[in-house]
């Protein structure tokens, strides 16, 4: 009869192994240390359910780790509701007294949503974050009012509806009141659900994302958010030509503007945001000058001179017009996702940085990612040297440069002189990280401590 060997790995180490398994199997690479949502559609392939069936010791440890069961996503629209409903009930029970993060946005039909909501509603006292995609918003109040006044821990809310449900001629969406009494609610995202159709503690919100919203309704909601610190806006024209009353957002320090093209001239004049520290802009239209002017006009009207970080997905002309403005003089960190940039325009950007000390005079870090243009190594090396060595005491000194190639034509091999120059800059303390497409085969090569 074989002898039984007791499980000898400390519980603390096994628990950490379990967490790392969840991160690797379900996690987002950009959030390497965050315990991810476990997707029930993959629960039998990995995660706490699989871990609890390995052996008696692992089962005991998994069942005594409520954090493993507290973050869950339901995303399968092909499974019979009774199957995942039973599994979800088991999951939530194993979370014990842990606060819950629930994501119900994965393509469920209305029948599945109703069954699912009836499963999670009894646990609403422990909801920390809740995400839901309603396929039939007309029926929302009847489904959700059972949680009104029973969500004391809810901090984050995301509600999505189909874009077609707010099209002209569609029935009016009844006001959702289930989330009106949520004392801890601070972060809200509304995708296509009109702000007028949901009752929220607007005055308490610090983070608000508005996607696909009519401009007049969105700005009317912003008038009710005196404590807002972070705003992400993707607005469209006002219905019926209604012009909203301009709003001053005195506490917003992080502003994201998505789809800055046709509507930019219509809604930016209605925003005054004097305290911006971080600015994210998405604009890939070909006419960069006029849209850059609309953005800069808003910054000027806001008397905004404190932008420290700017992130842009944009064409070259838009980037240059924005970055050259006086409002960008204090920018320390630039992140670019080039849209339709060529090797030539990338070289022009590097040359401008090398030759014009008044262009981004306080820049400390540059990150260029998802870059499809070939790397102009000579201009790059000259720029890095100019911004690292040739700086006056009142000018910023570049500390970090990251460039990540992910598509496009392969890069030429830089000359030995350029590689020596990059290696010397790294040795002197400049953080250089370059992922290029190798000329001989389509693969990545890193300029790290060994290769640059």
Q: Is the dihedral of CA 24, 366, 328, 379 positive or negative?
A: negative
Residue 413 pLDDT > 60: yes
Tokens of 60: 């005991």
Residue 235 pLDDT > 70: yes
- Out of 148-162, 247-261, 401-415, the most confident range is 148-162
Residue 209 pLDDT > 70: yes
Residue, of 67 and 171, whose pLDDT is higher: 67
Q: Tell me what pLDDT residue 442 has.
A: 41
With contact defined as beta carbons under 8 Å apart, do 176 and 149 qualify?
Answer: no
Domain boundaries, the chain: 206-331, 336-452
Question: Strand, helix or coil at 247?
Answer: strand
| DSSP collapsed to 3 states, 222-234 | HCCCCCCCEEEEE
Q: Minimum mean pLDDT among 187-201, 340-354, 429-443: which range?
A: 429-443
Does pTM surpass 0.75?
A: yes
Q: Tell me what pLDDT residue 450 has.
A: 40
Residue 394 pLDDT > 80: no
Q: Tell me what pLDDT residue 88 has.
A: 85
Q: Minimum mean pLDDT among 299-308, 380-389, 419-428: which range?
A: 299-308
- Give me the percent of the chain exceeding a pLDDT of 90: 39
Query: Per-residue confidence at 81, pLDDT binned at 50, 70, 90?
Result: low
Query: Per-residue confidence at 80, pLDDT binned at 50, 70, 90?
Result: low
Mean pLDDT over each residue of the chain, to the nearest integer:
83
Which residues have CB under 8 Å from 432's CB, separation 6+? 384, 401, 402, 422, 425, 426, 447, 452
Mean pLDDT of 223-227: 95
Tokens of 431: 């953080």
Q: Tell me what pLDDT residue 260 has.
A: 55
Residue 141 pLDDT > 50: no
Mean pLDDT of 364-393: 91
Mean pLDDT of 213-225: 89
**What pLDDT digit, counting tens, does each position of 27-36 carry?**
775 555 667 7
Residue 4 pLDDT > 80: no
Residue 353 pLDDT > 80: yes
- Using CA atoms, how far apart are residues 15 and 451, in angstroms rounded to an integer? 38
**What pLDDT digit, counting tens, does each position of 274-318 carry?**
999 999 998 765 554 567 888 888 899 999 888 999 999 988 988
Mean pLDDT of 48-71: 86
With contact defined as beta carbons under 8 Å apart, do 193 and 160 qualify?
Answer: yes
Q: Tell me what pLDDT residue 252 has.
A: 96
Residue, of 403 and 172, whose pLDDT is higher: 403
Which residues have CB under 8 Å from 253's CB, separation 6+? 229, 230, 275, 276, 277, 278
Mean pLDDT of 231-253: 80
Residue, of 277 and 52, whose pLDDT is higher: 277
């Amino acid at each position: 009869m074989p002898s039984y060997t007791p499980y000898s790995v400390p519980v603390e180490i096994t628990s950490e192994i379990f967490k790392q398994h969840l991160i690797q199997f379900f996690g987002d690479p950009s959030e390497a240390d965050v315990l991810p949502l476990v997707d029930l559609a993959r629960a039998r392939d990995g995660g706490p359910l699989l871990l609890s069936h390995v052996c008696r010791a692992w089962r005991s440890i998994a069942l005594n780790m409520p954090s493993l069961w507290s973050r869950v996503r339901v995303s399968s629209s092909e499974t019979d509701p009774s199957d995942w409903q039973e599994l979800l009930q088991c999951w939530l029970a194993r979370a014990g007294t842990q606060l819950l993060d629930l994501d119900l946005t994965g393509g469920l039909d209305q029948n599945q949503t109703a069954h699912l909501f009836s499963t999670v509603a009894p646990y609403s006292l422990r909801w920390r974050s809740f995400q839901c995609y309603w396929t039939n918003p007309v029926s929302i109040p009847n489904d959700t009012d059972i949680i009104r006044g029973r969500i004391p821990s809810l901090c984050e809310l995301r509600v999505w509806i189909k874009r077609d449900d707010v099209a002209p001629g569609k029935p009016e969406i009844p006001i959702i009141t289930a989330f009106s009494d949520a004392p801890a609610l601070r972060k809200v995202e509304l995708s296509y659900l009109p702000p007028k159709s949901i009752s929220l503690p607007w005055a308490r919100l610090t983070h608000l994302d508005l996607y696909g919203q009519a401009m007049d309704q969105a700005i009317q909601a912003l008038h009710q958010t005196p404590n807002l610190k972070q705003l992400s806006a993707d607005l469209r024209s006002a219905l019926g030509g209604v012009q909203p009353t301009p709003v001053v957002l005195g506490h917003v320090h992080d502003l994201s503007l998505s789809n800055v093209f046709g509507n930019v001239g219509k809604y930016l004049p209605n925003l005054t945001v004097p305290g911006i520290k971080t600015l994210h802009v998405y604009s890939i239209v070909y006419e960069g000058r006029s849209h850059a002017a609309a953005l800069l006009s808003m910054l000027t009207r806001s008397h905004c001179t404190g932008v420290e970080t700017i992130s842009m997905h944009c064409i070259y002309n838009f980037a240059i017009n924005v970055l050259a403005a006086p409002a960008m003089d204090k920018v320390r960190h630039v992140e670019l996702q080039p849209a339709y940039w060529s090797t030539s325009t990338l070289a022009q950007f590097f040359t401008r940085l090398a030759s014009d000390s008044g262009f981004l005079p306080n820049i400390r870090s540059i990150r260029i990612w998802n870059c499809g243009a070939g790397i102009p190594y000579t201009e790059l090396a000259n720029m890095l040297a100019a911004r690292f060595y040739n700086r006056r005491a009142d000018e910023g000194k570049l500390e970090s440069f990251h460039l990540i190639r992910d598509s496009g034509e392969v890069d030429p091999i830089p000359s030995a002189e350029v590689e020596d120059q990059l290696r010397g800059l790294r040795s002197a303390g400049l953080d250089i990280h370059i992922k290029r497409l190798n000329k001989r085969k389509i693969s990545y090569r890193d300029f790290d401590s060994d290769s640059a």
